Amino acid sequence: MEAPAENLGIGRIPILNDGDFARFRGLILKQAGIHLSDHKRHLLVARLARRLHELSLSTFSNYYEYLTADASGAELRNFINRITTNKTSFFREPHHFEFLRERIIPEIRQAGRRELRIWSAGCSTGEEPYSIAIAVREALGTNNGWDVRILASDIDTEVLAKGEAGTYGVELLNEISPERRKANFLRGYGRFEGLVQVRPELRRMIEFRRINFNDHDWAVHGRFDLIFCRNVIIYFDRQLQERIVERLAAHLKPAGYFFSGHSENLYWLADLLTAVQATVYRLKHGGNDQ
């Protein structure tokens, strides 16, 4: 059975039957904790159809067999990369960056510290960690003598590669003031016309790394002053959301800050985190020992 897929530009694509939909859903839930609701069926078709085409496979069942037979894990990573939703932008939810600049950095400075550890957990293509790096530099100035390191993690290896490259279409900076653009981005010329690249001194502050929140061991050591985990846990069920936020909170320094996404109210973790302002929380006690 086939369905037209003119908008995908790959000719005709097979129908995703109930059984296959259930199997793909089960796999993404088990591997990444991502819960695909019924209305995500079209999305799954749209995202996997191209892969079937690339592999010259004619049915979704064939692809499921191919995927699960690949012992290297490469196709599984490819599959996960296709399923994740990576929407992001520079200075998304701008009040978080103002809070960092105006409140957190002065607070740390007043405590006599010159070290900052930040985790952008679920960083997508890098706009979030770069926005953090820019806000930090705006607060501290250049050559400030501070030791600032940002861990940027995601499950999706393709977005991590984009983040690491730090190269974006110039149109992604539309909302950014000309001063901020000039201070933080290099403009491409010739064959790089239309592109910008984040300045190397900002890129050096960030380490991009694949971390799947659904894995038992994240291999993350040490604690962070701030953790951004925004618009990531919305894809998980409540039980996993709780487990992930608790595990992340265990990586916060005492009284460290946790930033969630605009639709992610963490009132159900009130024993652990105090709300400081909308979607900004602070660790209540010393936190659990790692």
Q: In the bound complex, what is the minimum distance in angstroms from residue 110's beta carbon to ligand SAM?
A: 29
* Residue among 234, 240, 229, 236 nearest 273 (CA): 229
Q: Specify the length of the chain in residues.
A: 290
For ligand SAM, which is the closer residue by CB, 13 or 257? 257
Q: How far is CA 213 from CA 138, 210, 249, in A?
A: 31, 10, 13
Q: Exactly one of 20, 77, 137, 154 is catalytic; which is it?
A: 154
- Please identify which of the residues 23, 41, 47, 50 carries the catalytic annotation: 47
CA distances in angstroms from 162 to 14, 219, 221, listed in the order given: 31, 22, 25
Q: Does 18 participate in catalysis according to the annotation?
A: no
Report the residue number, 81 or 184, with the smaller CB distance to ligand SAM.
81
Measured distance CA(201)–CA(281) in Å, rounded: 29
Write the single-letter amino acid at 69.
Answer: A
Least CB distance to ligand SAM at residue 49 (A): 20
Contact (Cβ atoms closer than 8 angstroms) between residue 159 and residue 124: yes
How is residue 175 written in tokens? 């909302």
Question: Could you tell me if 127 and 90 are in contact, meaning their C-beta atoms sit under 8 angstroms apart?
Answer: yes
Residue 125 CB, nearest approach to ligand SAM (Å): 8
CB of 243 to ligand SAM, least distance (A): 11
Catalytic-residue membership of 149: no
Cβ proximity to ligand SAM, 20 vs 156, nearer residue: 156
120 or 184, CB closer to ligand SAM?
120
Reduce the DSSP state of residue 117 to 3 states and report it.
Answer: strand
Using CB under 6 A, list all residues that contact ligand SAM. 32-34, 84-88, 92, 122-124, 128, 154-156, 159, 211-214, 230-232, 235, 261
Cα 228 from Cα 39, distance rounded (Å) = 28
The nearer residue to ligand SAM, 84 or 241, going by C-beta atoms, is: 84
Q: Which residue has the tokens 């963490």?
A: 266
Q: How far is the CB of 133 from ligand SAM (least distance, A)?
A: 14
Measured between alpha carbons, how far is 223 from 256 in angstroms, rounded to an integer?
9
Order of strands across the sheet that contains 252-260: 206-210, 147-154, 115-121, 224-229, 252-260, 280-283, 273-277
| Comparison of 66 and 218: residue with beta carbon closer to ligand SAM | 218
Residue 112 CB, shortest distance to ligand SAM, in Å, is 31
CB-based burial of residue 119 (10 Å sphere; 0-12 exposed, 13-18 middle, 19+ buried)? buried
Q: Which residues are catalytic?
A: 47, 154
